Structure 1
Amino acid sequence: MVRVIKQETYDEVVKENIEELEMSPEDAIEDAIKQFEAQGVDLTNIIKDLVLNDTSDMILSCLKKLETASKDNKNCENIPHILEKLKTELDKDIARRIYAAKQNAYSILLDLMKSNKNDINILKPALKTMTSLMNGHPDLLDMAGIEFQMQILDQETNVSVIQVLLRWIRQCCIKHEVNRQNLFNADILNRLKIILAKENATGSEMRDACGVIRALVLDDDLRHEFGKAHEHATHIARACLSVATGLLSKFKDDKGVVGDIMLTIATLVVRNEFCQEVEDAGGLTYILDVMINHPDTEKLNWQALKLLKALAGNDNVKAHIVTSGSAPLIVSAISRFKSSESVVAAGFSCITALTLKSSSNAGVFYDCGAPFIIIDAMKQFPKSENVIRHACQAIRNMAVRNNAESREFVAYGIESLLNDALKIHGSDDVKDEIKAALRDLGFKVQLKEQWLGKGVGLKND
């Protein structure tokens, strides 16, 4: 069990080191940290350098000034400067953010924004400061905060304010299932749809809206065994998928926006019909155009591969992806970015999805020289569990129904490569994938029976 202490306890030990042992402040801090860590104490929430720079006084001072300003609306010209000072402190570490939260920072900032919602010069920096406060600490959001967020989305016309607000909302969704569900119940979906459908929407605005959409379909809160990520993705897809696909054409010259849109669509195509809807809207053509027109942009190619893999969940779309000429583009992307672990893993995963139960698709990848490229890329990351797993899955799908063509893997020395990987990852979860690839290629492999039984006959009473 993790042990925790209060800030005061830590400060007392540091002061004792300085006063009784005559240590310098730096040495006193280092010694105190070693003491507590040796005792198994988690110091994540502790401000460790408080004795060098009394941050707590600055945070408290800023909060008191903001609280006073929100009540009497005086000295408003100083508020942006105070907010900036507070944000700078909050951005330093989670310990300062937790300390500020204990000093009622959330309520003070929310009251300040409510009383100055028509003053952009205060509202905008206040939103930024609130986002910093809740970075890694989303539990602070309450229904009053959600109501205010929806109110600003409905009433505010300044694009820069909307963007900052969307970043705050996104921060509230990360690792917090309850916040995601409460925001969804507050009808954030229709408000996001309005932003996506705006004729004069800017690219940066689209990116922030897409960021919120992806955050709403996360399933990263360990405190909740069952979330609503799939349900949220389904609702959003039905409302926004065709609109989002159309944006690929609208922002085709903006690499950052196109990449974010592709990644967002990939998180939404959680059902068979959604994959078909994206293709019907011309999505496949846009994706392939991106890979053709931006061959040297690593992130964009990674995002395109992720989306192609997601769309391959529909068998009809999967077949069309390959017949549309995507196989050479995928193989080429893996080859060009073979030093990028993320692109290589995404490429292998894409090949796996496209060749699943499809010998004809696998044949196309053989014709494109995929075996050599897969082996060459695997050599770049022999210790990467992620790359080796996806590579083995791709090899299996390409080999299992194409015994004759699979000899290409043998000719390029795949056996020794897989056996070397087995030595490195023999104790990892990926070892079963390596053994399965060896088996499907016809090599000798020692398979362990998971359950042998005790040799006792069963009785039927």
Structure 2
Amino acid sequence: MAPQKAVRTISQEAFDEMVKENIEDLGMDPTEALEDAVQTLSLQGVDLSGIVQCVPGESSVDDNPVVQALSRLKGLSSDSSDSENEIMELLGNLNELCSSKGSGNAAIATKNGGVELVISILPKLKKSGPHRGLDLALSTLTSLIHDLQSTETFKESGGPEIVVGILNDESQHVSILNSCFSVVAVAASGNEVVKESFMDLKIDQLVIKILKEHSGWAFPSIYDAVRVLLTADDNRVVASQVYGYARRFAKMGIVETLVHTLHEGLSSPCVVSACIALKAVAVNDEVCRSVADNGGIDAILHCIDDCGEQGNKAAARTCCSLLSKLAGSDINKSLIIEKGGLQRLIKLAGRFSEDPSVLQEVMSHISILCLRSPDNAAQAIEVGAGDLAIQAMQRFPDSEQLQRNACLMIRNLVVRNAENRKILLSHGIEKHVRKAKGSHKICKEAATDALRDLGLDNYNS
């Protein structure tokens, strides 16, 4: 792993002592003493997440509801005679507190041993068989894991082994499985070592088995888990292993199961999640072609048609993005063209003419279809790709990514097709490309290339 910049931290005890010194040595009132300590430490770059900031004399760390819940839960979890209902009540309170965005409660819980505590409770709840307590404990664990330190604690506390054990033993209980995969997704996010732990425990085999056994169930977290396990998102790592993991998933048969979900179309609430997972798996030409061999191209194009009919923007963006990834295979590219992919994309763009996020995905895909293919570029112009670029650039001048994608598409439309150059120049494309180049830094290179391949001499100006 690459060296990571050290983060300055402080213990709760040291923080409390600093506030106390402000009161006793500097004569500050309690509120002022607290504010000064926070301000001073923040200016010094100290990470105060997880620190309970309370005014001395008015409250204490022990009064914090998260600390109280953890303290009571620790006492209950170590005493087998205590009722499960009490544990569930405390888990519910802790889950609610730590799920609150921006509250800092998850950090406080992590700093006070919350991750280790909930992990230690899981085996006890598991022994009494499937029940709501186990599901609630897993949901609580999901709300506690929020940063690198909490994922490290999860690993060190045996979290991967315990969660995979539950997945193996409770394979018939969908709600528990869904909660388990939610834990997998948050715990593996940004942590290469946790990903490796899950893969060592053969979670890929479990994923395929569970997807097949529960075909037709709404199971969003399992797709999220696949996506996270196959995403290189740990900036400490020079070379991630996720490419190899994706190939393992593909060899296990994940493509067939994911394409099956896509064939359900927008009637499945998991179609977007399945598209994202499949995009993560499609890491090479072989996998991309296997998607087509299993009818995946047809399924995605049908989803794109349905997205336009139903006005589903999220699914439209995701399906276009997946199709772009699959078009990296030249065989798939030809297949998409043969199945009317260009016409269907232009139709989709017409349906979402007021949404730049969809338009930029459409143009990105057309750009890939036209790459090194003058015939495809000619067909794209025939069905309206040039008009799409001009209208989108006119309508959304402030959308940086749309402007950049338009420039990239224009370049691929004209670089090997002289006739397309004449058509686009006659429609005034030059002024739109130059405006994008002058207005947006991220467009400079793409716009310069487009101007050059349009045959303009002053493309650098």
TM-score surpassing 0.5? yes
Match of 2:372 in 1: 357
CA contact (8 A) 1:290 1:304 kept: yes
| Aligned-pair CA distance for 1:302 | 0.9
CA contact (8 A) 1:396 1:437 kept: yes
- The 2-side partners of 1:329 and 1:381 are apart by 22
2:226 to 192, 213, 218: 213
Structure 1 spans left out of the alignment, 5+ residues: 449-461
Match of 1:336 in 2: 351
1:376 to 379, 383, 391: 391
Per-residue CA distance 1:49-91 (angstroms, 9 max, x = gap):
5448767532232222222222222132211111122122323
- The 2-side partners of 1:214 and 1:373 are apart by 32
| Aligned-pair CA distance for 1:353 | 1.0
CA contact (8 A) 2:226 2:277 kept: yes
2:162 to 138, 143, 148: 148
2:118 to 106, 109, 134: 109
| Aligned-pair CA distance for 1:431 | 1.3
| Aligned-pair CA distance for 1:140 | 1.7
Q: Structure 2 vs 1, CA of residues 383 and 103 (structure 1 numbering), >3 Å: closer, same or farther?
A: same
CA contact (8 A) 2:305 2:348 kept: no
- What is the one-letter code of the residue matched to 2:359? V
Q: Structure 2 vs 1, CA of residues 280 and 377 (structure 1 numbering), >3 Å: closer, same or farther?
A: same
1:273 to 283, 286, 289: 286
Matched, 1:245 2:259: yes
Matched, 1:125 2:136: yes
CA contact (8 A) 1:175 1:221 kept: yes
Matches within 5 A, 1:403-442: 403-425=418-440, 428-442=441-455
CA contact (8 A) 2:227 2:280 kept: yes
Q: Structure 2 vs 1, CA of residues 408 and 446 (structure 1 numbering), >3 Å: closer, same or farther?
A: closer
Q: Structure 2 vs 1, CA of residues 50 and 390 (structure 1 numbering), >3 Å: closer, same or farther?
A: farther
- The 2-side partners of 1:53 and 1:288 are apart by 60
Matches within 5 A, 1:41-56: 41-43=45-47, 45=49, 47=51, 50-51=54-55
With 188-197 and 40-49 compared, the bigger mean Cα shift is at: 40-49
CA contact (8 A) 1:217 1:232 kept: yes
| Aligned-pair CA distance for 1:189 | 0.6
With 377-386 and 266-275 compared, the bigger mean Cα shift is at: 377-386
CA contact (8 A) 2:265 2:302 kept: no
Q: Structure 2 vs 1, CA of residues 14 and 422 (structure 1 numbering), >3 Å: closer, same or farther?
A: farther
Match of 1:294 in 2: 307
3-state SS of paired residue (1:270): coil
Per-residue CA distance 1:225-263 (angstroms, 9 max, x = gap):
1101211111112221122212322x3352432222222
- The 1-side partners of 2:166 and 2:295 are apart by 34
- The 1-side partners of 2:378 and 2:207 are apart by 43
Match of 1:451 in 2: none
Match of 1:283 in 2: 296
**Size of the alignment, in residue pairs?**
440
| Aligned-pair CA distance for 1:31 | 6.6
- The 1-side partners of 2:406 and 2:433 are apart by 10
- What is the one-letter code of the residue matched to 1:127? L
CA contact (8 A) 1:362 1:402 kept: yes
TM-score by length of 1: 0.87
Match of 2:93 in 1: 85
| Aligned-pair CA distance for 1:377 | 1.6
Match of 2:215 in 1: 201
| Aligned-pair CA distance for 1:14 | 6.6
Q: Structure 2 vs 1, CA of residues 446 and 351 (structure 1 numbering), >3 Å: closer, same or farther?
A: closer
- The 1-side partners of 2:453 and 2:8 are apart by 49
- What is the one-letter code of the residue matched to 1:107? E
- What is the one-letter code of the residue matched to 1:98? A
CA contact (8 A) 1:5 1:41 kept: no
CA contact (8 A) 2:185 2:224 kept: yes
3-state SS of paired residue (1:172): helix
Matched, 1:393 2:408: yes
3-state SS of paired residue (1:225): coil
TM-score by length of 2: 0.87
Matches within 5 A, 1:22-101: 36-37=41-42, 39-43=43-47, 45=49, 47=51, 50-51=54-55, 57-73=64-80, 74-92=82-100, 93=102, 95-101=104-110
- What is the one-letter code of the residue matched to 2:97? E
3-state SS of paired residue (1:363): helix
Q: Structure 2 vs 1, CA of residues 202 and 49 (structure 1 numbering), >3 Å: closer, same or farther?
A: farther
- The 1-side partners of 2:77 and 2:362 are apart by 53
Q: Structure 2 vs 1, CA of residues 49 and 340 (structure 1 numbering), >3 Å: closer, same or farther?
A: farther
Per-residue CA distance 1:88-107 (angstroms, 9 max, x = gap):
23234484333322322222
CA contact (8 A) 1:44 1:95 kept: no
| Aligned-pair CA distance for 1:130 | 0.8
- The 1-side partners of 2:299 and 2:131 are apart by 38
RMSD: 2.7
CA contact (8 A) 1:69 1:112 kept: no
- The 1-side partners of 2:66 and 2:325 are apart by 46
CA contact (8 A) 2:50 2:110 kept: no
- The 2-side partners of 1:53 and 1:243 are apart by 54
With 439-448 and 276-285 compared, the bigger mean Cα shift is at: 439-448
Structure 2 spans left out of the alignment, 5+ residues: none
| Aligned-pair CA distance for 1:40 | 4.9
CA contact (8 A) 1:435 1:445 kept: no
- What is the one-letter code of the residue matched to 1:79? I
CA contact (8 A) 1:45 1:94 kept: no
Match of 1:305 in 2: 320
Per-residue CA distance 1:143-166 (angstroms, 9 max, x = gap):
621111111111112211111111
